[in-house]
Amino acid sequence: MFRILVADDEGIMLESIKSIILSNFGSECQVVCVKTGRAVIEQAEAFRPDIAIVDIQMPGLSGIQAIREVRRFNSSMVFIIITAYDKFSYAQEAVNLGVMEFITKPVNKKKILDVCIRAMHQVEEARQKLSDDLKIREKLELVVPMIESGFIYNLLRDDTDIYRNDYLEMLDIKTRYGFTIVLEFGDGVVDGLMTNAVGANVRLNKYYTQLRELVKDYFDCITGPVMGNRIVLFVPFEREKTRYEERVEIITRTRNMIHRLEAGIDMQFRGGIGMVTPVEEARDSYKGALKALRESDSHVVHITDIPAITNYDGEYPMELENQYFQRGAKADKEGAAACANEFFDWMLEHDGNVRANIEVKVLELVIRLEMTAFEAGSVRYGFRYRENYLAEIQGAADMAALRSWFIRKTREICDNISTSRERESENVVSRVKNYINENYAQDVSLDDVSRLVDISPYYFSKLFKQEVGENFIEYLTRTRITHAMRLLEDSRYSIKEVCLMCGYSDPNYFSRIFKKYEGMTPSEYRER
């Protein structure tokens, strides 16, 4: 159905155009006729036509003036201007207003039908585009929550570098900082813990879409999945620290959000808010949010409001300590050693007279770095691995020897992490190379070998190229061509047989690939 508005101050012209349209398009069109520019504007709002055929010269507002007003609230209507005056100024403004056609009187039936058909096609294209856009939006409504869930899972991992930049791009996150909010829910609170966590999980899953929409009314945030009886929100932030007023506002918004959630969902909520951190350290913000929940019975609590939660006596180089663990976990031997050296300088300056305190801190840092590596699966761990640590630390002749032990142990841990990763990578790549060498004549795919080593295709591709220096397809092709060269030297096999024996079903494709790698066709190679 097309809604068509015809505007002309001549009654005969109106009836003529209406008759032509209805007699040719029948029930496909609904036609309304008006005689003034003002009526055009009124019908544009009331009738909402798809197409408007408008005369320029009408009593009161001209057709051009009427179109200009309509364009303020309707940009999609297709306008066709008819006039007895062939004036360039009118045509120029008509173009500026997006008019589809500018025709002069007298107009005949063929011209009216032709311009109506083209206008209808334009309307149908616009409708189809709108329909396609809606379908895309519907699909995005399904995909975006999955991407956001993946982003949250990634943030909570120890190794957040793997996919982080991909998620930031997909979710259009441009800030370097952010903070987390952990929402905890249940039937009630007993001794600081939510009750009936399992039942609450089941119930909240039914309201998850509603919850996502509601929290985004309060924060421009990334919403994680339901994990147990918690949901994690990540809120991008412009700066590395919140001012007092901003922190109060965040708490207030969180409180209001929770009141809305409790009003719409029959269960109780609590909120813990972590500190602002760089995006790559968001796991620390998450830990802070959890700690805020555990150490307070308030409805909503910010980590910085917990008394002495991160305060130390005097100054303390917390940022330096964090860098030590981050660089160590990444097997950055020299970076971690530099942090260790700088930290030792700080201890000498602030507590140089009490060696026991420095010994305890050195032992703590080394053991924590080892545990970080162990939890990440990078090194082995045994109860007796550290049996000599105390003796070695206490036996250090002086502070220089103690510093040397601290830095040496730091480097050893980083070496162990690096060696473990390299060994695992080499093992994975070695298995795949052996598989290719044994099965190159078969249909070998990236999915096949990824499944063989139980690693996702994306991560395996990256790992394989890092270790081998070329991607999987390039290595497979080079292996096949190497075997083909050996077989071509044996005159018992035809080129077609060699093609099949090397995993190719199309001789022409085989010839093109062979020439690309060897600079000559299989036939030319055999002749040489």
First to last CA, the chain: 73
Question: Residue 166: which pLDDT band, with cuts at 50, 70 and 90?
Answer: confident
Per-residue burial over 185-222, b = 16 or more CB atoms within 10 Å of its CB, e = otherwise: bbbeeeeeebeeeeebbebbeebeeebbebbeebbebb
Total-model pTM: 0.42
Number of C-beta neighbours around residue 140 at 10 A: 11
What local confidence, expressed as pLDDT, does residue 484 receive?
93
What local confidence, expressed as pLDDT, does residue 375 receive?
61
What local confidence, expressed as pLDDT, does residue 104 receive?
80
Mean pLDDT for the stretch of residues 79-106: 76
Given a contact cutoff of 8 angstroms between Cβ atoms, the answer to whether 252 and 150 are in contact is no
Q: Please say if the pLDDT value at position 310 is more than 50.
A: no
Mean pLDDT for the stretch of residues 250-257: 93
Average pLDDT, the chain: 84
CA gap 372, 366 in Å, rounded: 10
CA 344 to chain centre: 40
Question: Residue 432: which pLDDT band, with cuts at 50, 70 and 90?
Answer: confident
- Alpha-carbon distance values, 466 to 416, 426, 490 (Å): 19, 10, 36
Q: What is the pLDDT of residues 327-386, one digit of tens each?
A: 887 788 899 999 999 999 998 888 767 888 899 999 989 888 888 777 655 555 555 667
Number of C-beta neighbours around residue 385 at 10 A: 12
Mean pLDDT for the stretch of residues 413-427: 66
- Please write down the HEC assignment for all residues of 122-148: HHHHHHHHHHHHHHHHHHHHHHHHHHH
Number of C-beta neighbours around residue 426 at 10 A: 11
Name the more confident of 452 and 517: 517
Mean pLDDT for the stretch of residues 48-53: 94
Mean pLDDT for the stretch of residues 283-302: 85
- What letter would DSSP give residue 218? H
Given a contact cutoff of 8 angstroms between Cβ atoms, the answer to whether 329 and 373 are in contact is yes
Question: Residue 34: which pLDDT band, with cuts at 50, 70 and 90?
Answer: very high
Question: Residue 309: which pLDDT band, with cuts at 50, 70 and 90?
Answer: very low
Q: What is the pLDDT of residues 209-231, one digit of tens each?
A: 889 889 999 999 989 888 888 99
CA gap 173, 99 in Å, rounded: 40
Mean pLDDT for the stretch of residues 393-397: 89
